[in-house]
Each structure stands twice: as C-alpha cells, then as structure tokens.
Amino acid sequence: MVLAIAASVLALPIHGAVAQVSVNQLRPHQVTFALTLDPSYANPNLKSAEGQLVYEFERESCGWFRTRTRTLLKMQFSNGRSVINATQSDISENTSGNEMKFKSSATNDGKVSNAAEGTALRSDAGVQVRLVAPVRQFDAGGVDFPFQLALRILDAATKSRPEVTVRHYDGSEGGLKVYRVTTRIGSPTQAPNVLGGAPIDTWPTRARYFSEGSKTAASGTPDYEIEGALQADGIVTGMRLIFGDVSFKASLTNVVPLPEPRCE
C-alpha cells in the first residue's frame, strides 16, 4: 500500500478571478501528526499501524511558496507480515498560479516507487507538464495546483459555499495522474487557535480524490479521501486519511510557526 498524502488539504492568488482569500493571510508553519489506525474502519487484514506525518508551508519569497510533506508508516498485518511505507514531496508554486516545480517519491520496505520530478507551466491553452523523471511531456488541461485548490477551498468556506469540485494536478503517483477533487465544507466553529491567541474560525472538510480515467472513478469510488479541521489561517489541526476500507487518524502533536517575508 502506498500512503499518498495530497498537500492540497493541508495547505491552503487563484489563477483567474476565483478566490478573494489572500496568500498573505496564511501562516507559514510546520505541523507534525501522529498516524494511527482508525478503528472505525475495520479491515481484518491489518492488525496495527503507527507513524508520523510532517508538513511544512513556507514563503520562499514574496513571489513563491513551498510545501513539503514527509510520511512514515509502519503496518502490521494479521498474517504476521510487516511493511514500512514512506512518502515525500516537495512542491514550489508561484503566487500567480502559473508555475509549479515538484519532486515526489514513495518507498515500500526500502524499494522506491512512483518517483517523479518536473515542472508544470500554465498558459491560455492549459497546463503543460514536463517530467524530468520519468522523461515525458503532456497537457494536463485546466487544473488547479495544490495551493490554488487549497485557497479555493478556504475561499468557499469563508463564503459559506458547501462544496468545491475542481480538476487537480500535484505531480504525485509518478507525475502522470490528474485528479477530480470534490470537497465538502461544513459549518464553521470558533475553535482555539493552535498557535495561540483568540479563537479562530475552523471548518470541517472532506475531500474525495478521483483519478481521471480510472474504473473506480467511473463507478463513483474515490481513490482516497481526506477529512480535516481547517483554520482560517490555513493550518489543519486534525485529519483522517481514508483509503477504501482502511483509515488512519492523524492527531496533531506539534505546530511551529515559520518566518514570514514582508510582502505587500
């Protein structure tokens, strides 16, 4: 099993006149989550699971921001077999939404899979993806990059829109997949801010990821789902990662603010 964690729910101007939320209102930060098996999703083949997810959102400059995600998950199966799975991704996007640079990979018991590195450039005709590894070039069409999608979700939340559906590209799964992502947004609550200070608007969200062209998508079954509690400053304070009949709880264990550049 490959634990593919999309950054789009973790990090929140949209290309085109869509979002009114400014990237400057989001807090650069690093969050660490403890991963455990969710008992509400019963899979008799999986006995236990534990691990960690670390996510960083930083402003490299006023024109670029960067998101990095690392996961490590140890799984013990009922037949006695154990597996150590790890993923990592490093994505840089410019604030205009016209360019993304990405690098991602996964390892399963030390064997690398789904590695990808490349760039995605937007033009009026669509998004042209150029992969360095594996070497390939293709047109992804009209898609949101991860941070664009996240800003779109946060913008919809602030306007009390209950659902957002977009085509999405993040360079994961070997850099060859485009997803259709449908996110449901619940009513906000005033919750304690994990970075301190006054209570902050926080929305429950549930994003469903469908790989375009797959049989599961055609049947209405998502590749995976991510539930989260999203603060108005872009910090996610808790998650559940759902892969069919297996689910993992991600409990916040640490959050650290990161430096911010002075941007108008």
- Residue found by looking up tokens 């069919």 in the block: 244
Answer yes or no: is 90 within a domain: yes
Answer yes or no: is 2 within a domain: no
Q: Which residues neighbour 80 within 8 Å (Cβ) at sequence distance 6 or greater?
A: none
Residue 144 CA to residue 167 CA, distance in Å, equals: 6
Q: Which phi-psi region, left, alpha or beta, contains residue 64 (left: φ > 0; alpha: ψ -120 to 50)?
A: beta
Answer yes or no: is 89 within a domain: yes
What pLDDT sits at residue 261? 79
What pLDDT sits at residue 21? 67
In this prediction, the residues of the chain whose per-residue pLDDT falls under 50 are: 1-19
Q: Which residues neighbour 114 within 8 Å (Cβ) at sequence distance 6 or greater?
A: 2, 4, 104, 105, 106, 172, 173, 174
Answer yes or no: is 264 within a domain: no
- Three-state secondary-structure class, residue 137: strand
Overall domain count for the chain: 1
Answer yes or no: is 85 within a domain: yes
What pLDDT sits at residue 51? 97
What pLDDT sits at residue 20? 58
What pLDDT sits at residue 5? 41
Answer yes or no: is 33 within a domain: yes
Residue 123 CA to residue 244 CA, distance in Å, equals: 36
Answer yes or no: is 17 within a domain: no
CA atoms within a 13 Å half-sphere pointing along the CA-CB vector of 110:
1
Instruction: List the end-to-end C-alpha distance of the chain, in Å, as a whole number.
Output: 44
Look up residue 140 and give its two tokens. 């992804």
Q: Are 83 and 95 in contact (CB under 8 A)?
A: no
Residue 162 CA to residue 153 CA, distance in Å, equals: 10
What pLDDT sits at residue 1? 38
Residue 182 CA to residue 21 CA, distance in Å, equals: 19
Give the predicted TM-score (pTM) of the model.
0.88
Answer yes or no: is 182 within a domain: yes
- Cis omega (within 30 of 0) on the bond before 134? yes
What pLDDT sits at residue 216? 74
Beta bridge partners of residue 238, listed in sequence order: 251
Q: Which domain holds residue 202?
A: 23-257
